[in-house]
Structure 1
Amino acid sequence: MTDIKIGQVDIPTHVEWPIRDNETQLLFEVYAGSIALGTNAGTPTTHINFKTYLPLSGNTIRTYGDTSQSDEPPALEAALIVTPIGFQAHEDEEFICSVDSFKLYFETQQFTGVGGNLFCLILEFRVGLLNGTLHKIGYNVTLHTPLTTNIHTLDLDDSDAPH
């Protein structure tokens, strides 16, 4: 697994809106952006797994609760897409560039100077490459979680990556 540094996430975009009525309290969110990879492969076909945080903007992520406060990970319902958006094939070679699979989940993370085990949103994806360089992938994630979740933001350094 290759952990992507948050500084590799280019132009992250995030919008959100709360939904409240007599029966429902949800937070709808949309995350979109691209991730600089610069991953090169020759032959045979290479498959590589990546994982990254999804920032709100810059290096700011959202946390969705803390196990040290007896929080449970929030229910997660999401629609997502991950796609190659920058690929360069090697000259005169047969090539492949694919996103083989992707998933979204909450994972506990610990941060220096911050107490607890925080639930963070993680995007994991697997790419397939043959004779080329995958420069960037794009992502678009729409999700909703219960609005009652213990939600906060956290600023990270460029070099921080999920572990």
Structure 2
Amino acid sequence: MILLPLSAVSTATHLEFSAPGASGDGGQIENALIHVYAGWIQVGFAAGDINAVAQESYKSFVPLDVNGRVLTYDPGAPFNVTVSVAPASFACSSDFEDEPGTTAVNSATVALEPQIFGGVGGTPNLLVLRAELAAQRSTIFSITYQVTTAAPAAAVLDELNLSLGAAPA
């Protein structure tokens, strides 16, 4: 598992709006606050001319912007989340026409995970993205993500300004 610092997030945008209700795996949420996060993360995952597909796991915070701002959430509140991750920039190389390169995202999840930071009391729960990448005769320079959350407004507890060197535990 490669823990990516916030400085690896090269582009990040955030949109927030209210909805009368939202439903999903976390159940029905009345008067939901919807957060939409999107961005690019630099990963630099390279796999040369090998006979097997190489796989690697990456973990990153889901920030509000590229300045290290993140939201903390109440882990006991109803919470729905969706995630989509795709290779954003990559290069495939092959010396043989019948041996193409492979570039893939095998899976992606987002969850609230408790974190410990110096100077921050307690263990705030932050959004953490996990992506499983695969490559063969390929380099994945960056991935793009889109995360949508739905929770009661009271579930968003605070906003933290973290160092760009901060990475998830």
TM over 0.5: yes
Task: Give the aligned residue type for 1:88.
Answer: A
1:87 to 90, 94, 100: 90
Task: Give the aligned residue type for 1:12.
Answer: A
CA contact (8 A) 2:110 2:130 kept: yes
Aligned partner of 1:68 in structure 2 is none
C-alpha RMSD of matched pairs (Å): 1.7
Count matched residues.
156
Question: Which structure has the highest strand share of the two?
Answer: 1
Deviations 1:48-104 (A, max 9, x none): 111110110121111113xxxxxx443321222100011111242531000000111
Segments of 4+ moved more than 2 angstroms: 18-21, 72-76, 90-94
Aligned partner of 2:151 in structure 1 is 145
Unpaired runs of 5+ residues, structure 1, are 66-71
CA contact (8 A) 2:113 2:128 kept: yes
Unpaired runs of 5+ residues, structure 2, are 22-28
Aligned partner of 1:40 in structure 2 is 46
- 1:15-54 correspondence runs (5 A): 15-19=15-19, 24-42=30-48, 43=50, 44-54=52-62
TM-score normalised by length of structure 2: 0.86
Deviations 1:22-49 (A, max 9, x none): x823110100000011111122211111
Percent identity of the aligned residues? 28
The answer on 1:119 being equivalent to 2:125 is yes
Q: Distance in 2 between matches of 1:150 and 1:4?
A: 24
Q: Distance in 2 between matches of 1:130 and 1:45?
A: 5
